[in-house]
Amino acid sequence: MSPHTSRHLARRRIFLVKPRFQGTVALCFAAIVFAGAALFAGFFSQYARTALRVASLQGHYDFLSPHEIIGSALALHVLALSAGVLAGSLLVLLFLVRRIRSGVERLVETFRVSMEGDLSSPTNATGLSDIAELGRKVDASRSRTLSRIREIRADVEFLRSEPLTDEEFAKRWDALKAAIRRVVP
Amino acid sequence: MNSPPADKGQHIAEQGIAGRFAMRLLLVIGAGGGILFLGFYLIFIRPFPGTFSGTYFALRDLSAFLVPVLVFSMLAYFLVVSLGIALLSGYAFHKIAGPLYRMERALENYDSGHAVKAVFLREGDGLVSLAQAYNRYVAGLREDRQKWLAAMEHAERLCLQEAATCRAEMEEALARLSELLSRYR
């Protein structure tokens, strides 16, 4: 591979960072488009078939093309379809933004209470599945940190309470320092 | 962090992503509606035959022919608009998916026992508040760890000065350490 090609590949943007998350979002919008298209097909088909049948039963045909019979209704139906799909998509967008924001706010709050020492209250992140999953990972990390801190606390209490020889005390003291250094290295 | 620090500013950044997405959504849906109308217009603008019977049968045929035309055109509309929105949402939501991915990597790094790094987001990314909360949490833990070590190292320094009171100084440091650790629950 030439240096130019490798540089080009290295700079290439990753479009699908989290396919499940981005795919779910795309599917939500696709469902709205599908519903709009189905409703359009149903209503316009019903209207156009009736209008064409009525037109065919007239005594005089004073129109040159089907567009003169159903053109204005077609424009209205397409307009209604576009407006409906847009409104539905905006509602989905609003819903997604609210869900993402509420989930992220829970995570931010969890980090805030963690700074105050609370490493055990669960995050309970609501929202999209990826945010809820991130919440579970945050909880797992906090739990592991709390376990390390509890181990350190137990070591401290052991050193304080047990009558140890100076040599043993020094050994455990050094081990305690090493354990502390392993917290957020 | 390459984004404004205030929470208000971060909400505005996330609203900006949603706002730009909504504008592009309007364009895609508008273009889809326009193409759909144009397609139907080209079908319906074809003139009727000049004769009465020809027009009558053309109207009846069109009425029967309408359902498959509608099904095909709505399928095409659904595919084109959904693909457009999927690409659009994939692009817009990678500014949310990217930070989620980076947070997951950061948590894996945090749990691995290797040196914990701060999370840095790209220009224009959302969820800045989440990355900042994580960075503050890690910085807070690191600061506490420094305090714990400082208490122990202070006792060690006093030990070097006065060997007779060494054990007492160390036990005092342990009491201080126990007090510092007690805030974690």
* Alpha carbon B113 to its chain's center: 27
Whether A113 is covered by a domain: the verdict is yes
DSSP B162: -
Q: Is-contact B183 B172, C-beta < 8 A? A: no
- Helices B7-44, A66-115: crossing angle, 10 deg rounding: 160
- How many domains are contained in chain A? 1
pLDDT (tens digit per residue) in B20-62: 889 999 999 999 999 999 999 999 999 998 888 899 889 888 9
Structure tokens at A168: 């043993």
Q: What is the mean predicted confidence (pLDDT) over A81-87? A: 96
| CB count in 10 Å sphere of residue B15 | 13
CB contact set of A26 (below 8 Å; sequence gap of 6+): B82, B85, B86, B89, B90
Q: Scanning every residue of chain B, which has its alpha carbon at the shortest distance from the alpha carbon of A166?
A: B167
For B18, the closest of A21, A29, A93 (CB atoms) is A93
Nearest Cα to B95, choosing from B135, B134, B123? Answer: B123
The residue with greater pLDDT, A94 or A16, is A94
Q: Is-contact A82 B29, C-beta < 8 A? A: yes
pTM of the model: 0.80
Q: Residue A178: what pLDDT?
A: 93
Whether A5 is covered by a domain: the verdict is no
Residue A27 has pLDDT above 50, yes or no: yes
Q: Residue B8: what pLDDT?
A: 56
Residue A4 has pLDDT above 50, yes or no: no
Q: What is the mean predicted confidence (pLDDT) over A7-32? A: 75
Spatial distance between the Cα atoms of B128 and B112, rounded to a whole number of angstroms: 24
Q: What is this model's ipTM?
A: 0.80
The owner of tokens 């022919």 is B65
Percentages of chain A per state (helix, strand, coil), in multiples of 5: 80, 0, 20
Q: With pLDDT > 90 as the criterion, what percentage of chain A qualifies? A: 63
Q: Residue A179: what pLDDT?
A: 93
Q: Residue B11: what pLDDT?
A: 63
Average pLDDT of every residue of chain B: 87
Q: Residue A125: what pLDDT?
A: 84
Chain A CB contacts of B128 below 8 Å: none
For B141, the closest of A17, A107, A183 (CB atoms) is A183
Tell me which residue range forms the domain holding A58: 17-183
Residue B79 has pLDDT above 50, yes or no: yes
Q: Residue B124: what pLDDT?
A: 77
Q: Residue B1: what pLDDT?
A: 40
Whether A7 is covered by a domain: the verdict is no
Whether A4 is covered by a domain: the verdict is no
Whether A173 is covered by a domain: the verdict is yes
**Residues B67, A45: C-beta atoms closer than 8 Å:** yes
pLDDT (tens digit per residue) in B87-115: 988 888 888 888 898 999 999 988 888 88
Whether A9 is covered by a domain: the verdict is no
- Taking the CA atoms of chain A, what radius of gyration do you get in angstroms? 33
Which of residues 59 through 98 in chain B touch A, CB cutoff 8 A?
59-60, 62-63, 66-67, 70-71, 74-75, 77-78, 81-82, 85-86, 89-91, 93-94, 96-98
Average pLDDT of every residue of chain A: 88
